[in-house]
Amino acid sequence: MMARAIEDFESAQESKEHDFEIGDTVDVYVRIVEGEKERVQIFNGTVIARKKAGQRSAFTVRRIVAG
């Protein structure tokens, strides 16, 4: 019953299909909240894994560090 409710909710949400694959270099924007301050930190890296699961999709990025 709960799974059906989640499926209904996900189908009602607007879905954006992101166009990147494993091996692509991407920029990741991370919102960081410290107390009352908020900032956006940007880093880039290579996509090493991607799990497609509708609204709950996830991807893993290996960060590229200078050096």
Could you tell me the pTM of the whole model?
Answer: 0.62
Interacting residues of 15 by C-beta distance below 8 A, sequence separation 6+: 54, 55
pLDDT tens per residue across span 51-64: 877 667 888 999 88
Domain count, the chain: 1
Looking at residue 42, what is its pLDDT?
Answer: 92
Residues in the chain, total: 67
What does the pLDDT average to over 28-34?
93
**Residues spanned by the domain of 32:** 2-63
